Amino acid sequence: MTHKNPLRRWDKVGIVVLAITLTAILFGGTFSSASYAHTNTHATPSGDQLLPRSHIIAQSTQSVDLTRGTGKFPLHKGNFHGTTVWYIITDTSDFGFAEALGLLFAPKLENAGVGCPTCVQDVTLTVRPNTKFNEAIVNFQGIPNFRPTRKVVAGPHGFPPASFQPGAVGDAKYSPLIRIQGSTAVYNAPIVAVGNGPFDLVHHTNSHDRVVGIDLVHKTVDMLLVNGFDSGKPIFYLSTDATDPLTATLERATYVPALVKVSFMGGDDFLGSARERIFGFTNGQVGRNNPQAQGLSNLILTGNASLDATPTNTGIGKPLGNPQADALNTQGDFPTITDPVHFATYSPLWDLQLGEWTQEAVSKGLNTRQMDENQILDLANQGLITGPGGAPYGSVDIVINCPPIAFLDQKPTGDLVPPPPNPPGVPPGPVGIN
């Protein structure tokens, strides 16, 4: 679905000035101009290698540490019925706010509440008298419970696991998507910690399972990133929430039942959709040193799914460490893609297309690592990839909140191959399989 560029209707400078004024009050000095005074330093005093700033697409992200595999994000203080909560912001449906805050512009987030009243939290603000460029407190209506212990026990073939348990569960009113009372803009603002510290960064009883560092003085949080691909290029993204307990467990994310009905299953290009596609595999090749390894079975069989992210255990799965600690999923429309249609259809709410290689594909050695959505769709059209258990290929109706943060070497600008034709009986319209 094509979205008109809002700059054709309103003056860009006016939008950004207004957004800066409002967001300075709402979200405080964390986003002042000093926040963007970054350099292209490639190493920290400890010797960690940093990704160049030019490769970070979510500009409010302060740094990406390649050695530790982490991103450093501004941290914001909120309230839940008298309990202190801490949250980050990655995306917004409003172009002006995205520009002012250094967030990803995700216009489809405005559709998140279509047919799903629980998908967006309506929050209120507490603002101190005479506030000037100070942070208002967001009052949440729902909250995650970080107390459960995340567990994964491998099954005979890795996936599905023999048993599992997500490490965090949102209550009935918790959604990472918030809308300030009286506004229409929707923000992706997942809660990542609860309380005033000290924070448990080993068992994560009061912090998100990807949090490996919290600095309340400088208001920052370090979170373990995820390796993936888009348009054939290696990328990093942050996985914070999922609508399925098993997916949340494997993603080290919060299980959020309130998002289950976010619009629409398999409808990433439909009117009113808030989703975009992400592609994963159940039974890709396996092996810690196998350059073709990919998928959930490999993730579990290598033992990486059961590892916990801690301040001393963050090199797992990163470019300078073990590359097998992530499922290596492939995202669809990326914020840097040059086609305006695909640029405008980006969303951090990824609709999982979970594929299973057929025995024919395996026997012919065609089950190689996949890094481009159209190539995957073409293989599905050829009957070489099905859904789990041989089901028709497409959405499994699981949504993962995982905004892209950066690219490793080259910016994704477009799919490697043209989209395949729709299968017989599917009318023209949405690209590929829906």
Q: Mean pLDDT over all residues of the chain? A: 87
Q: Tell me: the pLDDT tens digits for 152-177? A: 999 999 999 999 999 999 999 999 99
Q: Tell me: the pLDDT tens digits for 21-51? A: 444 445 554 333 233 333 344 777 778 899 9
Q: Which residues does 211 contact at the CB level (< 8 Å), separation at least 6? A: 192, 193, 199, 201, 204, 221, 222, 223, 309
- Mean pLDDT value across residues 310-315: 84
Looking at the predicted structure, is the pLDDT value of residue 433 above 50? no
Instruction: Report residue 310: phi and psi, to 5°.
Output: -135, 170
- Mean pLDDT value across residues 69-90: 97
For a pLDDT cut of 70, what percent of the chain falls above it? 84
When pLDDT is cut at 50, 70 and 90, the band that residue 268 belongs to is confident
Ramachandran region, residue 44 (left: φ > 0; alpha: ψ -120 to 50; beta: rest)? beta
Neighbours of 396 (CB within 10 A): 18
pLDDT at 341: 73
Q: Tell me: the pLDDT tens digits for 172-231? A: 999 999 999 999 999 999 999 999 999 999 999 999 999 999 999 999 999 999 999 999
The angle at the Cα of 386, spanning 396 to 383, to the nearest 5 degrees, equals 145
Which tops the pLDDT comparison, 12 or 314?
314
Q: Which CB contacts under 8 angstroms, 24+ apart, belong to 428-434?
A: 429/269, 430/267, 430/268, 430/269, 430/270, 431/269, 432/373, 432/374, 432/377, 433/353, 433/377, 433/380, 433/381, 433/393, 433/394, 434/266, 434/267, 434/268, 434/269, 434/270, 434/394, 434/395
When pLDDT is cut at 50, 70 and 90, the band that residue 318 belongs to is low
Q: Is 379 helix (H, G, I), strand (E, B) or coil?
A: helix
Least confident of 39-43, 108-112, 130-134, 352-356: 39-43
Instruction: Report residue 67: phi and psi, to 5°.
Output: -65, -45
Highest average pLDDT, of 29-43, 267-281, 410-424, comes from 267-281
For a pLDDT cut of 90, what percent of the chain falls above it? 72
Strand 144-145 and strand 169-170: the pairing is: antiparallel
When pLDDT is cut at 50, 70 and 90, the band that residue 423 belongs to is low
When pLDDT is cut at 50, 70 and 90, the band that residue 339 belongs to is confident
- Mean pLDDT value across residues 286-312: 92
Which tops the pLDDT comparison, 233 or 133?
233
